Structure 1
Amino acid sequence: MNPHVQARLKNSFIVFDSDANGYLQRADFERMARRVTRVMGQQEGSAKAQAVLDGHLRFWAGLAAEADSDHDAKISFDEYARRSFGPGSFTAHVQPLAKSIAALADTDNDGQISKQEFIALLCAVGFNAADYSDFFQTLDSDGDGAITIEQFVAMLEDFYTNSNPAAQN
């Protein structure tokens, strides 16, 4: 596997492995959903919080179906790295999560995500925001200081389906 792609996958695996036990499990996705909604200021049970939880659980279900080769209800990094999210799989399993966290990031409900909202979401998820500050400028193609929810979803689709080594880590 290309080392850049492997690094990108390892980074996302570490973020999803919320208990740092070396495996992805359903509880990791539940924990992450609750943490992200709490950090982003949503109360558990709100419509946005429920959408984020549902999105995380749908992502987990798709990931488990595609990657849990030994059916032990946990996914090692090797299993995670071998899985493939093609366009149909992304739409079914990852897009609901992408849309729910984009809506969560859109704290003023204007249909756009400002740079401040984008950075806050990355921090809530567990990424190092400093690594992605300049990346926002790439996404903000018209330079208006915001990206649409559709642009955010497209960015995540590219992240999960693109094997190009030049793609953002």
Structure 2
Amino acid sequence: MNHLENHESQLTAKEEELQRVNMTLQKFEKDNKVLQAVLKHTEVCEQKAPEVPNFQVIKKIELAYSCKMEEFERSIFGKDKKVAELLFEVAKLKEELHLARETHASVLKDRNCNKMGASEAFQEFQSAVPMQGGAIGEPGERKSSSEKNGSVRGRTLIKETKMPEINEQSWRSKKK
């Protein structure tokens, strides 16, 4: 179970890192859109009244925009690579987690099958070898007709024979 938890925690960490990278990319894209809007606004203002906007202000905005774009492109290049690596790692971890879960389920299934196999084997044993409550011929035990005749499953029993009662006088008379 520890192996599964380890995979799940690694997967969660990678997904969180991927989410942070995606948020950073979204922030860069938003900044890029803002800079493009400012530049477009500056161009529109310059076209409407070329004497009003200060030329240096426009150049600063363009320079800031180009610097930001270069930074953005560098970060995108690095982030895209990082995003691709993270996506690969997340996919790999998901596959490992899936395999670990399948293995765990398979192990549990095998254990249950083995338990059922042992249980079924014991039941089969019980049905093949009936349990008897004591020695054959005990008082209170029912005997089949074959047992009464002296045979039990291929074995013969010695029938009880009654010994003639010998009284003391007859015994003493024979002894003399």
- TM-score using structure 2 length: 0.24
Q: Rg: which structure is higher?
A: 2
Query: Hey, which of these two has a bigger chunk of helix by percent?
Result: 2
- TM-score using structure 1 length: 0.25
